[in-house]
């Protein structure tokens, strides 16, 4: 059987999925990026290959996430798309008719409004950590509870306390204050969930028409306390689709299928890239007053790609096989 590969490289996690020709997800891998995106992709490919009785035949590869450009160069992606497009495609296919997508990842959050299957509006929040997965991880660690039990404990609350959720620093300070006042753990966790939902709706959701069906995806969707807090705040049921934590990768795989159908054979370099040696670096171009920081990636002695230059002096040279000293 032939497959499509989707890779979503973010600041916190690197997700890889394998989708068959019928559109079914056959394998899904969730790994921590740990600040080393190339290594995360390579180890993810190794893990995927190890799960299969034989190496799958890949017909197309899609890359998304903040590290999509780097990933696309390394693996030979056929489609390199932003997270909004990837998440919208995945949600539309796995939750037909969806009109609102709530997405909260490790370092950012976003809302996507769809109408008749088309993205009509969206917003992202990448400025404040409050409401992101990393903040919830941090608070779970501070309270000495496994993050997997966070939501379950929050559901036991009978009277959630009110916590300031506009800022991560203020939220943590307020939680500590409520602990010192004698509030129990379930009420504090439920109060934090409600605070983060208020923060989300007042920032990324501000001015958006949120209509059902509503889908919640991203790693934070595993938190049942957050699901219930969204349902209370919106007065609407909130669905959590299968593969909610790797939806970007699922969307990338579907986008790769579309790209290959239009352009022909895949550019995928094969699973051998998991063993290749890549090197990244950066330098400042002094050719003009822009002083662009140019990112460079190479394999051995071969420069694979450069980007970051506004005029294209360096990036175009690689594409055109030119040499610039």
Query: In the prediction, which pLDDT does 28 show?
Result: 96
- The DSSP-derived string for 247-310 is HHHHHHHHHHHHHHHHH-S-----GGGGT--EEEEEEE--SSTT--EEEEEEETTEEEEEE--S
User: With bands split at pLDDT 50, 70 and 90, how would you rate the model's confidence at 323?
Assistant: very low
Query: In the prediction, which pLDDT does 137 show?
Result: 82
Query: In the prediction, which pLDDT does 208 show?
Result: 94
Residues 113-154 have pLDDT tens digits of 999 989 999 998 866 666 677 788 888 888 888 888 888 999
Residues 82, 71: Cα–Cα separation, whole Å: 13
Query: In the prediction, which pLDDT does 325 show?
Result: 31
User: With bands split at pLDDT 50, 70 and 90, how would you rate the model's confidence at 168?
Assistant: low
User: With bands split at pLDDT 50, 70 and 90, how would you rate the model's confidence at 324?
Assistant: very low
39, pLDDT greater than 80 = yes
Residues 267-315 have pLDDT tens digits of 999 999 999 999 888 899 988 888 999 888 888 888 888 888 888 888 8
Percent of the chain past pLDDT 70, that is, above it, reads: 94
For the segment 96-100, the average pLDDT, to the nearest whole number, is 95
Q: How far is C-alpha 238 from the chain's CA centre?
A: 19
Q: Give me the chain's average pLDDT, please.
A: 89
SS3 of the chain: helix, strand, coil, percent, to 5:
40, 25, 35
Domains and CATH numbers, the chain: 2-88+248-274 (3.30.420.40), 97-240 (3.30.420.40), 278-319 (no CATH)
């Amino acid at each position: 059987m032939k497959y499509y590969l989707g890779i979503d490289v973010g600041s916190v996690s690197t997700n890889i999925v394998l989708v068959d020709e019928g559109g079914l997800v056959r394998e899904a891998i969730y790994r921590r990026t740990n600040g080393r995106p190339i290594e995360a992709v390579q180890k993810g490919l190794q893990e995927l290959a190890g799960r299969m009785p034989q190496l799958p035949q890949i017909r197309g590869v899609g890359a998304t996430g903040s590290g999509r450009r780097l990933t696309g160069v390394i693996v030979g992606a056929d489609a390199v798309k932003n997270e909004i497009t990837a998440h919208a495609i995945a949600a539309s296919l796995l939750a037909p008719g969806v009109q609102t997508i709530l997405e909260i990842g490790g370092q950012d959050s976003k809302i996507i409004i769809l109408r008749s299957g088309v993205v009509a509006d969206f917003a992202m929040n990448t400025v404040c950590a409050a409401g992101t997965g990393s903040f919830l991880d941090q608070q779970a660690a501070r309270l000495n509870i496994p993050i997997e039990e966070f939501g379950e404990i929050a559901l036991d609350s009978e009277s959630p306390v009110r916590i300031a959720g506009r800022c991560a620093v203020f939220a943590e300070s307020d939680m500590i204050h409520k602990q010192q006042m004698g509030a129990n753990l379930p009420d504090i966790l439920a109060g934090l969930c409600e605070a983060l939902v208020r923060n989300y709706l007042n920032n990324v959701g501000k001015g958006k028409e949120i209509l059902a069906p509503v889908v919640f995806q991203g790693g934070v969707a595993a938190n049942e306390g957050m699901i219930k807090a969204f349902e209370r705040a919106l007065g609407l049921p909130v669905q959590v689709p299968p593969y909610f934590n790797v939806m970007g990768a699922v969307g990338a795989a579907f986008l790769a299928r579309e790209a290959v159908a239009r352009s022909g054979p895949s550019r995928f370099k094969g699973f051998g890239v998991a063993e290749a040696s890549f090197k990244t670096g950066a330098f400042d171009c002094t050719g003009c007053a822009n002083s662009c920081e140019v990112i460079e990636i190479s394999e051995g002695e071969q420069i694979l790609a450069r980007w970051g230059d506004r005029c294209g002096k360096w990036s175009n040279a690689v594409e055109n096989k030119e040499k610039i000293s």
